[in-house]
């Protein structure tokens, strides 16, 4: 049978030119803007990209009223902004999936092949609302060009989300947090409103009215990162070109930074599947887990995938490396070692977590990654890495890491990071201001003991008084009311039924350290003891003269270090007694002779004691 087909006429040349011209410049009319205008599996993302591209900025960066063009565009943008704030407020969660996983079959592999940068899809869910098949409701996803796209199949959901977001008490804080996140991008040359991707213009409009800030304090203290998401950013060198970065998004979480610093006092333990657990050494309770491997996300089939070698490098962070899971109800009541660095032959957090994550970052970013890189561009790195360097750093090159007492860690102030460093005696001289944390070198192989006087910002300062309490014990010894018990390694207040003021304690690792006991801390803060010392002004003056110039010897001499520790403690007590200054006391008079007793602090380092000659008459 012969089949007759219609004859296809070749179009005229001028008609071909017109069609080609239309294809290059065609965009859907605003009134016809629907997902069907973009016939690809990424239609919702491409439609949102077009919507955000139609947003306009007037002079001064103010957004233009887009409702004059098409109310539907305004509705789409409002949903985009709801997703942005929903994630920042913790109302929405994100979940990264690999389209090459067997779960998604050949269709997922086909979609991943369409756009290589979209192999890892980040889904956005509302954990408060149940979706089909018993899962949390899927409300959208992320995309490199538009950042977020919104599901079109849940029209009634968006009004409910709008009610939750608009009435949220922390919405202003979330906007400020996003503003600081934008500041980090600007500081690293990854922001350009005119030539950058459309999501940056949309974010700028969403933050209209939020004052720009050069500080990123809230981002470091009150944010946890989720993601990462793969985003377009403007290329630094070439105008109009884009790069792709795996960026983490901030979620408002009050005190998250300081709570993470608390975790560094927990012992890291290597587990299977690339997981490190952080455990309380006294209760053996697991407080947090850090996932530092992508194997569980990529799946075993990744090894047989011929493209996995390249993809795993490019998308290392997209696979969720460095995820931190914390037991929100955990209270850290311990006083053991600071586990950032290795000690006593056991690996610390730096070896088990930081080093592997830096290596993963180097593979992902195609260059070496240092701690300075993390501090400069923290949004490229997960909490398990960026929070180590974002807070708790030494304020000067002289400061060293310290371990804190149980008393300090148990009384930690919510939202204020515990101190991690202190000034060692070799870095202090008589006449210099007293440090807030003194690092007392301990025995070999053990970290320095940190005596904390106070810590935290001025508006939330936490008064501890450990250095002052040590000074009080030295003052009571000066009055003849204290004694050292060498066999027990304790300083005891004999005038108060032998109460222990400070002494040596043995840790789980067998190292000895100095610790001030609660009784001494309580005495050092009581107004009655302060008034009694102030009444003995002449004796207090002699006490000041005794310690005024101690510690002026050789800087590397451990015996001089012991004198400097004593001088700092004595001055801390005197200044507290006198209301913050010792200027009312005249720095002259007879210097008291040294007592035969010495409290040994370490190899060749002892804390000297003095006794007032008039007190023993």
Please tell me whether residues 350 and 204 are part of one structural domain. Answer: no
Mean pLDDT of the chain: 78
**pLDDT-derived band of residue 68, with 50, 70 and 90 as boundaries?**
low
For residue 447, being part of any structural domain is answered with: no
CA distances from 336 to 111, 228, 502 (A): 51, 34, 17
For residue 419, being part of any structural domain is answered with: no
For residue 492, being part of any structural domain is answered with: yes
Does 228 sit behind a cis peptide bond, omega within 30 degrees of 0 on the bond before it? yes
**pLDDT-derived band of residue 529, with 50, 70 and 90 as boundaries?**
very high
For residue 397, being part of any structural domain is answered with: no
Does residue 310 carry a pLDDT above 70? no
Dihedral pair phi/psi, residue 154, rounded to 5°: -130, 55
pLDDT of 40 reads 59
* Structural domain ending residue among the three candidates 350, 370, 390: 390
Please tell me whether residues 371 and 498 are part of one structural domain. Answer: no
Three-state secondary structure call for residue 71: helix
Does residue 406 carry a pLDDT above 60? yes
Which carries the bigger pLDDT value, residue 33 or residue 543?
Answer: 543
Please tell me whether residues 268 and 213 are part of one structural domain. Answer: no
Q: In this predicted structure, which of 49-58, 66-75, 316-325, 435-444 has the lowest mean pLDDT?
A: 66-75
CA distances from 229 to 119, 143, 175, 351 (A): 11, 8, 19, 27
> Could you tell me which of 41, 45, 44 has the C-alpha nearest to residue 147?
45
For residue 235, being part of any structural domain is answered with: no
Please tell me whether residues 129 and 268 are part of one structural domain. Answer: no
Please tell me whether residues 539 and 612 are part of one structural domain. Answer: yes
pTM of the complete model: 0.69
Please tell me whether residues 470 and 594 are part of one structural domain. Answer: yes
Q: In this predicted structure, which of 165-179, 422-436, 546-560 has the lowest mean pLDDT?
A: 546-560
Report the C-alpha gap between 125 and 306 in whole angstroms.
32
**pLDDT-derived band of residue 4, with 50, 70 and 90 as boundaries?**
very low
Average pLDDT of span 38-57 = 77
- What is the number of structural domains in the chain? 3
For residue 2, being part of any structural domain is answered with: no
pLDDT of 29 reads 62
pLDDT of 31 reads 53
Asked if residue 380 lies in contact with residue 365, where contact means CB atoms within 8 angstroms, the answer is yes
For residue 23, being part of any structural domain is answered with: yes
Three-state secondary structure call for residue 278: strand
Specify which residues 142 forms β-bridges with. Answer: 148
Which carries the bigger pLDDT value, residue 208 or residue 241?
Answer: 208
493 C-beta neighbours (distance < 10 Å), count: 20
Q: In this predicted structure, which of 155-164, 396-405, 506-515 has the lowest mean pLDDT?
A: 506-515
Specify which residues 122 forms β-bridges with. Answer: 96
For residue 456, being part of any structural domain is answered with: no
Please tell me whether residues 141 and 195 are part of one structural domain. Answer: yes
Buried b (16+ CB within 10 A) or exposed e, 376-398: ebbbbbbbbbbbbbbbbeeeeee
Report the C-alpha gap between 414 and 460 in whole angstroms.
10
**pLDDT-derived band of residue 300, with 50, 70 and 90 as boundaries?**
very low
Please tell me whether residues 494 and 350 are part of one structural domain. Answer: no
Please tell me whether residues 184 and 96 are part of one structural domain. Answer: yes
pLDDT tens readout for residues 336-361: 567 887 777 788 888 888 888 888 77
* Structural domain ending residue among the three candidates 221, 240, 274: 221
* Structural domain ending residue among the three candidates 345, 369, 390: 390
Please tell me whether residues 94 and 185 are part of one structural domain. Answer: yes
Tokens of 470: 């040590």
Please tell me whether residues 197 and 301 are part of one structural domain. Answer: no
pLDDT tens readout for residues 145-164: 999 989 888 888 999 999 99
Report the C-alpha gap between 350 and 277 in whole angstroms.
13
Please tell me whether residues 68 and 211 are part of one structural domain. Answer: yes
pLDDT tens readout for residues 246-296: 899 999 998 888 778 778 778 888 887 778 888 877 677 777 888 765 433
Domain assignment of residue 195, given as a range: 13-221
Does residue 467 carry a pLDDT above 90? yes
Dihedral pair phi/psi, residue 246, rounded to 5°: -90, 105
pLDDT of 107 reads 75
Q: In this predicted structure, which of 2-6, 109-113, 551-555 has the lowest mean pLDDT?
A: 2-6
Report the C-alpha gap between 501 and 519 in whole angstroms.
6
């Amino acid at each position: 049978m012969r089949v007759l087909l219609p004859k296809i006429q070749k179009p005229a040349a001028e008609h071909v030119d017109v069609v080609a011209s239309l294809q290059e410049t065609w965009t859907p009319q605003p009134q016809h803007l629907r997902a069907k205008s973009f016939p690809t599996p990424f239609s919702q993302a491409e439609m949102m990209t077009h919507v955000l591209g139609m947003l306009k900025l007037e002079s001064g960066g103010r957004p233009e009223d887009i409702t004059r063009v098409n109310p539907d565009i305004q509705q789409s943008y409002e949903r985009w902004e709801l997703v942005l704030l929903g994630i920042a407020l913790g109302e929405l969660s994100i979940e990264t999936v690999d389209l090459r996983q067997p779960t998604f079959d050949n269709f997922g592999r086909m979609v991943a092949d369409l756009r290589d940068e979209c192999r890892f899809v980040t889904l956005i869910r509302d954990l408060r609302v149940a979706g089909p098949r018993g899962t949390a409701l899927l409300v959208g996803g992320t995309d490199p060009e538009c950042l977020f796209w919104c599901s079109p199949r849940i029209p009634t959901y968006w009004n409910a989300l709008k009610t939750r977001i608009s009435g949220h008490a922390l919405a202003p804080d979330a906007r400020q947090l996003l503003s600081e996140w934008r500041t980090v991008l600007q500081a690293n040359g990854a922001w350009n409103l005119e030539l950058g991707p459309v999501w940056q213009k949309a974010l700028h409009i969403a933050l209209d009215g939020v004052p720009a800030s050069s500080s990123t304090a809230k981002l470091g203290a009150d944010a946890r990162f989720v993601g990462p998401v793969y985003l377009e950013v403007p290329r630094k060198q070439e105008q109009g070109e884009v790069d792709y970065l795996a960026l983490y998004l901030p979620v408002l979480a009050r005190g998250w930074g300081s709570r993470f610093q608390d975790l560094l006092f927990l012992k890291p333990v290597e587990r299977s599947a690339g997981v490190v657990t952080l455990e309380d050494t006294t209760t053996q309770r697991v407080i947090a887990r850090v996932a530092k491997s992508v194997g569980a996300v990529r799946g075993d089939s990744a090894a047989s995938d011929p493209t996995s070698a390249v993809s795993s490098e490019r998308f290392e962070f997209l696979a969720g490396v460095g995820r931190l899971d914390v037991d929100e109800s955990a209270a850290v009541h311990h006083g053991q070692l600071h586990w950032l660095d290795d000690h006593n032959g056991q690996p610390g957090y730096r070896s088990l977590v930081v080093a592997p994550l830096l290596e993963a970052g180097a593979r992902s970013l195609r260059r070496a990654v240092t701690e300075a890189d993390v501090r400069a561009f923290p949004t490229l790195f997960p909490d398990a890495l960026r929070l180590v360097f974002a807070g708790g750093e030494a304020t000067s090159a002289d400061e060293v890491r310290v371990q804190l007492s149980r008393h300090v860690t148990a009384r930690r102030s919510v939202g204020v990071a515990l101190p991690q460093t202190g000034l060692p005696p070799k870095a202090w001289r008589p006449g210099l201001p007293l440090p807030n944390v003194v690092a007392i070198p301990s025995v070999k192989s053990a970290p320095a003991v940190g005596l904390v006087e106070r810590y935290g910002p001025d508006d939330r300062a936490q008064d501890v008084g450990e250095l002052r309490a040590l000074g009080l014990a030295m003052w009571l010894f000066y009055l003849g009311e204290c004694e050292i018990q060498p066999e027990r390694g304790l300083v005891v207040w004999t005038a108060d039924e032998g109460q222990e003021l400070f002494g040596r304690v043995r840790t789980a690792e067998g190292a000895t350290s100095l610790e001030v006991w609660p009784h001494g801390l309580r005495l050092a803060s009581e107004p009655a003891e302060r008034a009694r010392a102030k009444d003995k002004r002449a004796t207090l003056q002699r006490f000041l003269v005794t310690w005024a110039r101690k510690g002026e010897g050789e800087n590397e001499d451990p015996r001089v270090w012991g004198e400097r520790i004593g001088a700092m403690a004595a001055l801390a007590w005197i200044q507290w007694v006198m209301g913050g200054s010792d200027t009312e006391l005249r720095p002259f008079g007879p210097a008291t002779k040294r007592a035969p007793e010495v409290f040994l602090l370490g190899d060749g380092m002892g804390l000297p004691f003095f006794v007032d000659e008039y007190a023993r008459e």
